[in-house]
Structure 1
Amino acid sequence: MKVKTFLSSGSVARRARAATVVASLAAVSALVAPTALAAQAPAEPQPTVAQLAQASDAVLSADIGGTAWYTDKASGKVVVTADSTVSAAEINEIKEAAGAQAGALEINRTPGKFTRLIAGGEAITSSGVRCSLGFNVVKAGQYFALTAGHCTIGRPTWSIGTAVPGQTVFPVNDHGVIAHSNPAAADGRVYLYNGTYRDIINAGTPTVGQRIERSGSTTGYRTGTVTGLNATVNYGGGQLVYNTHQTNACAEPGDSGGPLFGGNTAYGLLSGGSGNCTVGGTTFYEPVTRPLGLYGLSVF
Structure 2
Amino acid sequence: MKRRRLTHAVLATLLLLGGLATAGTIPAAATGPTSPTGSTPPTGSTSLATSAKPASDGLLAAMQRDLGLTRHQAEARVAAERAAAVLDPKVRRTAGEAYAGSWFDAARGRLTVALTPDASTATRRAIRAAGAEIRTAAHTARELDAAKARIDRLSAPSGVSGWHVDPVAGTVVVDIVREDRSDNDVRRFVSRARETGPVTVRTVSAAPRTFAAGTVGGDPYYTGNVRCSIGFSVYGGFVTAGHCGSPGAGVSGWDGSYIGTFQGSSFPDNDYAWVSVGSGWWTVPVVLGWGTVPDQLVRGSAVAPVGSSVCRSGSTSHWHCGTVLATNETVNYSQGAVHQLTKTSVCAEPGDSGGSFITGDQAQGVTSGGWGNCTSGGETWFQPVNEILGRYGLTLHTYTG
TM-score with structure 2 length normalisation? 0.56
Instruction: Select which of 94, 106, 130 maps to 2:227.
Output: 130
Q: CA offset at residue 154 of structure 1? A: 6.2
The answer for unaligned runs of 5 or more in structure 1 is 1-44
Change (3 A) 1:188 1:182: farther
Is structure 2 residue 165 aligned with structure 1 residue 71? yes
User: 2:190 aligns to what?
Assistant: 95
User: 2:332 aligns to what?
Assistant: 234
Is structure 2 residue 156 aligned with structure 1 residue 58? no
User: 1:105 aligns to what?
Assistant: 199
Q: CA RMSD in A?
A: 2.4
Q: Secondary structure at the residue paired with 1:92?
A: helix
Contact preservation (8 Å) 2:357, 2:363: yes
Q: CA offset at residue 126 of structure 1? A: 1.8
Count residues in correspondence: 246
Deviation string, structure 1 residues 239-262 (Cα, Å, up to 9, x no partner): 211111110100010000001101
User: 1:7 aligns to what?
Assistant: none
Change (3 A) 1:130 1:84: farther
Instruction: Select which of 273, 276, 283 maps to 1:176.
Output: 273
Segment drifting more, 258-267 vs 153-162: 153-162
Q: CA offset at residue 187 of structure 1? A: 2.8
Instruction: Select which of 290, 306, 319 maps to 1:208.
Output: 306
Structure number with the bigger relative contact order (C-alpha 8 A, sep ≥ 6) is 1
Q: Secondary structure at the residue paired with 1:57?
A: helix
Instruction: Select which of 274, 277, 289 maps to 1:192.
Output: 289
Change (3 A) 1:204 1:132: same
Change (3 A) 1:163 1:77: same
- Which structure dedicates a bigger proportion of its chain to helix? 2
Segment drifting more, 56-65 vs 245-254: 56-65
Map 1:1-300 → 2, pairs under 5 A: 46-47=138-139, 49-50=142-143, 53-54=146-147, 57-58=150-151, 60-65=153-158, 66-83=160-177, 86-89=180-183, 90-100=185-195, 104-117=198-211, 123-138=220-235, 143-153=236-246, 156-160=249-253, 161-165=259-263, 167-182=264-279, 184-194=281-291, 196-237=294-335, 239-294=336-391, 295-300=393-398
CA distance in 2, matches of 1:198, 1:274: 26
* Structure 1 residue ranges, 4+ long, deviating more than 3 angstroms after superposition: 45-52, 83-87, 99-102, 182-185
User: 1:26 aligns to what?
Assistant: none
Q: Secondary structure at the residue paired with 2:348?
A: coil
CA distance in 2, matches of 1:86, 1:199: 43
Q: Structure 1: which amino acid aligns with 2:176?
A: A
Q: CA offset at residue 64 of structure 1? A: 2.4
Deviation string, structure 1 residues 65-96 (Cα, Å, up to 9, x no partner): 34211112442210122335644224422321
Deviation string, structure 1 residues 217-240 (Cα, Å, up to 9, x no partner): 010000000000111111134x21
Contact preservation (8 Å) 2:248, 2:262: no
Q: Secondary structure at the residue paired with 1:291?
A: helix
Q: CA offset at residue 208 of structure 1? A: 0.5
Change (3 A) 1:85 1:257: farther
Change (3 A) 1:257 1:51: closer
The answer for unaligned runs of 5 or more in structure 2 is 1-136, 213-218, 254-258
Contact preservation (8 Å) 1:67, 1:83: yes
Q: Secondary structure at the residue paired with 1:298?
A: coil
Deviation string, structure 1 residues 87-141 (Cα, Å, up to 9, x no partner): 4224422321135457x222222223311117xxx62112111000011111xxx
Q: CA offset at residue 291 of structure 1? A: 1.6
Contact preservation (8 Å) 1:188, 1:200: yes
CA distance in 2, matches of 1:72, 1:87: 21
Deviation string, structure 1 residues 141-176 (Cα, Å, up to 9, x no partner): xx20111010022671111423343x1111111111
**Percent identity of equivalent pairs:** 28
CA distance in 2, matches of 1:134, 1:224: 18
User: 1:3 aligns to what?
Assistant: none
Contact preservation (8 Å) 1:70, 1:228: yes
Contact preservation (8 Å) 2:283, 2:397: no
CA distance in 2, matches of 1:191, 1:97: 44
Contact preservation (8 Å) 1:84, 1:112: yes
- Which structure dedicates a bigger proportion of its chain to strand? 1
